[in-house]
Structure 1
Amino acid sequence: MSERSIRLSSSEIAALWATYIQENMTVCLLIYFLHHNQDVEIKPILERALQNSETHLQQITDIFQKESIPIPDGFSEKDVNLAAPPLFYDMFGLSFVYSLTRLLMINGSFLTANVARKDVLDFFITMNYKSTELYRQATELMLSKGIYDRPPYVPYPDKVEYEDKLSYISGFGKKRPLNVAEIMEIFFNIERNYFSLLLCMGLLQVVKDKEIHSFIKEGKKISEQQIRTFNDILMKEELYGIITTNVEVTDSTVSPFSDRLVVTLFHSLNGIDIALLGHAVSLSLRSDLVAHYQKYIAEILIYSAKGVELLMDRGWFQKPPHAPSRRDLQKID
């Protein structure tokens, strides 16, 4: 059977559709960061990230056109106001690429495991490779600029140990020390929320729509709560891997992005956050950590629903491709 005669499966359409929306938003944001960037070391990384995303968009477009699948309604230059003063300093653009590539590697690997048709599988394998290379470059530059904060260090183990007591999973009363997997999840949750906090800080200065402003303010509060919760856990464990944040937001009050782009971006970030918190639950054995993660998953699910409602109220919610209603098709007039 030839490759072209194999129809795209539902999971392949879903993966390509979601990636198109994500990469389309990314192009708009990278164009903005590049327009204002003054750092000659950061510029090549932003340019490569933009080239990658534009290539991905074209490749997905080609696949959809061959299959006669409508291209999602994307964002354009109308959604980015390059005449607006810079809202973030150059280091935030570098942090954006770092955070973006981390999420692409995580999400891209998941999507790769759910596709099979050769052209789609090749696309995601290549995308993952390019994301990994870009992550390496962004991380190396952050290290050289002294803005990459390493997770906490622990002593090397000197032997393999086994545990046979249920107290190992207890997170209330007398607790055991955190294991390295739990430290990892806590640290990167804090890091992710610091990035979200800076994003919210900037957008709260420029978004004029009261409903959207309130929505962003609520998101900022959730990020602040997570940072406090998990920083407190590290402090109590005397693991001082606390991320220090330099304010990377300017004093601009002119929005560089359309409201539609802003709300869609938050909708996308909410989905990623829920997935990563779920992953943290799967690796955490102390019951207090599981309780914290479950609490925030529930909060973000409610918050995410408000974002979807905002998108629908404004006519901005784009339905992904879906299965037909067999009940409707089987009705007899």
Structure 2
Amino acid sequence: MKPNEKQVNIELTCTEIGGLWGIFIQESMNIRFLTYFMHHLQDEEIKPLTKVALEISEGRLDKIKQIFIKENFPVPRGFAEDDVNLSAPPLFHDIFSLSYIYMMNRLAMINFSYTASNNVRLDVLDFFTECIHTSTEMFGKVVKMMLSKGIYDRPPKMEYPKEIEFVQKGSFLTGIVGKKRPLNAIELSEIFFNIERNYFSVLVMLGFAQVIKDKKLKNHVIRGKTLSEQQIKFFNNLMMEEDLLGTVPVGMEVTDSTSSPFSDKLIFSMINVLNSVDISLISHAMSVSMRTDLTAQYSKIIAEVMLYSKDTFDIVVEKKWLEQPPLVTNRKKLLNSD
């Protein structure tokens, strides 16, 4: 093989199939939301950034399609134009598109890095490497714009340590019983970003709850909003105890519209994504926290979100909204067939 020749003559493995399939569904969803934002945007500064974000998602979708077609692999259905009603009034103010692009690219950087580490076919690895680059670049641009508009809440500052120290006592882990030590930098960072992510979820759920008509589905969305609000309250109270004042939202980004621009399928697919992200990142926060009160609360939150996630899954399956990921061959069924 020549030095610059890509290794594409080997079949895709399960990690490459799973990674590409998952990103296809996610980018298909992003295209629908970004198309909606572009249709209603009035802010001439936000428009170009949103346009670039949309073009990136469209480009990724096209590249995955090309890989699947070459492999004679079924191209997923994903989400279509009829999942968005562009004639419905705006559900979110212009500024929310920045919140959306910020959060999706922040989560994409995490997801793409993990997915890339599981891939060995060079053309697929190159694709995910490019995704990491473009998401990182877009993240930087949207943070810069949010700062210029005064809507980005920086993580808390802390005093620099005067010297290097080593843990001396088991009390470093205490939190439920006895005197709590101050939060360390890693714990504080996780708390801040968990608050930020849940504020985003509250805005999304509030918008969805306003427009969804089915009573059962509406109540489920409101339940998800309440879960995020409970997390925000706990983490803000924790920061207040540390004299860090907590983190507050800077403004309301949801309009008073009650006409849905999104299909119920698209709404619940986004909720599925938010559930998955919440479980994953809360689990990560728990793994790096070294205070028992934090790990206990994280365990409680994970259990609550997993229950909500299971109920969400039941709804999307019942409604036949969930596209099935590729399955391995059922060998037992083949062996037992006549």
1:135 is matched with 139
2:29 is matched with 25
Report the alpha carbon displacement of residue 229 of structure 1 after superposing the two structures with TM: 0.5
2:218 is matched with 213
Q: Does residue 58 in structure 1 map to residue 67 in structure 2?
A: no
Q: Does residue 310 in structure 1 map to residue 315 in structure 2?
A: yes
What are the superposed Cα offsets for residues 57-86 of structure 1, whole Å, 9 maximum, x if unpaired?
A: 000000011111111112111010110000
1:329 is matched with 334
**Distance in 1 of aligned mates of 2:36 and 2:336:** 51
Matches within 5 A, 1:77-88: 77-88=81-92
- What residue ranges of structure 2 are gaps of 5+ in the alignment? none
What are the superposed Cα offsets for residues 305-332 of structure 1, whole Å, 9 maximum, x if unpaired?
A: 1111111111112110011121111225
Q: Kindly provide the amino acid, as one letter, of the partner of residue 335 in structure 2.
A: Q
1:145 is matched with 149
2:96 is matched with 92
Q: Does residue 281 in structure 1 map to residue 286 in structure 2?
A: yes
2:324 is matched with 319
Report the alpha carbon displacement of residue 241 of structure 1 after superposing the two structures with TM: 4.2
**Distance in 2 of aligned mates of 1:241 and 1:213:** 30
What are the superposed Cα offsets for residues 243-269 of structure 1, whole Å, 9 maximum, x if unpaired?
A: 333111111000000001111111111
**Distance in 1 of aligned mates of 2:179 and 2:65:** 56
Tell me the C-alpha RMSD between the 2 structures: 1.1
2:44 is matched with 40
| Contact persistence 2:8–2:122 (CA under 8 A) | no
- Tell me whether 2-11 or 213-222 shows the greater mean CA deviation: 2-11
Q: Kindly provide the amino acid, as one letter, of the partner of residue 173 in structure 2.
A: I
**Distance in 1 of aligned mates of 2:81 and 2:9:** 37
| Contact persistence 1:311–1:317 (CA under 8 A) | yes
Q: Does residue 294 in structure 1 map to residue 276 in structure 2?
A: no
**Distance in 2 of aligned mates of 1:194 and 1:159:** 36
Q: TM-score, structure 1 length as denominator?
A: 0.98
| Contact persistence 1:194–1:245 (CA under 8 A) | no
The runs of at least 4 consecutive aligned structure 1 residues that moved more than 2 Å come to 1-5
Q: What SS is found at the alignment partner of 1:189?
A: helix
Q: Kindly provide the amino acid, as one letter, of the partner of residue 189 in structure 1.
A: N
* Identity over aligned pairs, percent: 49
Distance 1:332 1:126, change over 3 A: closer
**Distance in 2 of aligned mates of 1:328 and 1:75:** 32
- Tell me whether 150-159 or 252-261 shows the greater mean CA deviation: 150-159
| Contact persistence 1:171–1:289 (CA under 8 A) | yes
Q: Kindly provide the amino acid, as one letter, of the partner of residue 145 in structure 2.
A: L
**Distance in 2 of aligned mates of 1:121 and 1:298:** 34
**Distance in 1 of aligned mates of 2:39 and 2:83:** 14
**Distance in 2 of aligned mates of 1:83 and 1:254:** 10
**Distance in 2 of aligned mates of 1:68 and 1:271:** 30
| Contact persistence 1:191–1:243 (CA under 8 A) | no
Report the alpha carbon displacement of residue 164 of structure 1 after superposing the two structures with TM: 2.1
Q: What SS is found at the alignment partner of 1:247?
A: coil
- What residue ranges of structure 1 are gaps of 5+ in the alignment? none
Q: What SS is found at the alignment partner of 1:5?
A: coil
Q: Does residue 272 in structure 1 map to residue 277 in structure 2?
A: yes
Q: Pick from 173, 183, 188: which aligns with 1:183?
A: 188
**Distance in 2 of aligned mates of 1:247 and 1:44:** 23
Residues paired across the two proteins, number: 333
- Tell me whether 2-11 or 265-274 shows the greater mean CA deviation: 2-11
